[in-house]
Amino acid sequence: MARNSPPTGGPRHVAIIMDGNGRWAQARGRPRLFGHHAGARRVRDIVSACPELGVDYLTIFAFSTENWKRTQTEVSGLMALFRRYIIKEMQEFVKENVRVRFIGDRRRLDRSLQDLMDEAETMTSHCTRLNLTIALNYGGRDEVARATKRLAQDVALGRLDPDAVDEETLPKYLDTCVLPDPDLVIRTSGEARISNFLLWQSAYSEYEFVDTLWPDFTKDIFTDVLRSYGARERRFGAVIG
C-alpha cells in the first residue's frame, strides 16, 4: 500500500486540537506568533491532504474561549492572523471545492472578523469536496450552555415539549448540528487532554495523542494516524464477538 493512499476503514470526520505552535517557535528562539503563522501554513497542507485520504469532514480548534487569558500581544496577533488567513485562503478553498464553516461564540469577536467569517461561509456554501469547520472562540461547555439556553427558550415559547427533550434533542441546538460526530480526535504536541473541545460530540470518538508539535505535523504523520485508526475496533458501548 502506498504511504499516502487512503487508509482502509479510515475516519470520515477528523477533529484536530492543533497544539504546540508557541513551543515550536520558542524552541527556535522566535516569538510565539511565529509559531502560529507556521501552524496556519500547516493547516493548508492537512486540508489539501484530506480528500485523497478519505476524510470528508475536518474540524480544527483554532482559538478557545480560554485563550483570551493569553497576553494581549498574542491575542491581538492571533486575531490579525485569522483575518489574513480568511482573506488569503478563501479563494483557494473555493478553487479546491472546500466548504468552510465556523463554530463558537462570535459575539466577542471583532465585527470585521465576523463579517469575514460570514463571507467565507457564503462564498464556499456550494463546495462539496471537503467540509472544513474552524472552531473560533469555541469551548465545549460554552457551546452546551448556549444550546441549552436556546432549547429552554423554545420550551418557554411553546415550540418544544419539555417531555420530548432527550439526548437526540440537544444536538440539534449545538453549533455542529449539521455535522456528523467526529470519528477521530487528534491532539498534537504530546499533551493528553481534550481541553474543552467537542465535549458532547466526541462521546464515542477515538483519540490519538501525538508527540509532534503542530507545525511539524506532516501529511505522512497524518496518514499514519489515520491508518492506525483503521486498525481499531469501534464498539460504541456494545460487546462484539
Question: Hey, what long-range contacts does 144-149 have (CB within 8 A, 24 or more apart)?
Answer: 144/170, 144/174, 144/199, 144/200, 146/105, 146/175, 147/173, 147/174, 147/175, 148/173
Report yes or no on 158 lying in a domain: no
Q: Confirm whether residue 60 is marked as ligand binding.
A: no
What pLDDT digit, counting tens, does each position of 74-98 carry?
A: 999 999 999 999 999 999 999 999 9
For residue 182, give the nearest of 9, 60, 14, 55 by alpha carbon: 14
In a domain, 144, yes or no: no
Instruction: Specify the pLDDT at position 53.
Output: 96
Query: Is 175 part of any domain?
Result: no
Region 220-233: what's the mean pLDDT?
A: 88
Q: Has 37 been labeled as part of a binding site? A: no
176 labelled as ligand-binding? Answer: no
Asked whether residue 29 is assigned to any structural domain, the reply reads yes
Per-residue pLDDT tens over the stretch 174-203: 999 999 999 999 999 999 999 999 999 999
CATH number of the domain enclosing 51:
3.40.1180.10
Q: What is the pLDDT of residue 231?
A: 74
For the chain, what is the mean pLDDT?
93
Beta bridge partners of 65: none
pLDDT in tens, 133-168: 999 999 999 999 999 999 999 999 999 999 999 999
pLDDT 10s digits, 19-42: 999 999 999 999 999 999 999 999
Reported as a pLDDT band with limits 50, 70 and 90, residue 128 is very high
Report which of residues 238 and 60 the model is more confident about: 60
Domains in the chain, number: 1
The answer on whether 125 is annotated among ligand-binding residues is: no
Is the model's pLDDT at 71 over the cut of 50?
yes
pLDDT of res. 9: 76
Residue 65, marked binder: yes
Give the residue ranges of DSSP H helices in 50-184. 72-95, 111-123, 140-156
Residue 132 resides in a domain = yes
- In a domain, residue 36? The reply is yes
Determine if residue 146 is labeled as part of a ligand binding site.
no
Q: Which residues are catalytic?
A: 19, 67
pLDDT for position 234: 55
> Percentage of residues in the chain with pLDDT exceeding 90?
91
Range of the domain at 105: 13-139+181-229
Q: Per the annotation, does 206 bind a ligand?
A: yes
| CB atoms inside a 10 Å sphere around CB 226 | 25
**Per the domain annotation, does 197 fall within a domain?**
yes
Residue 234 belongs to a domain: no
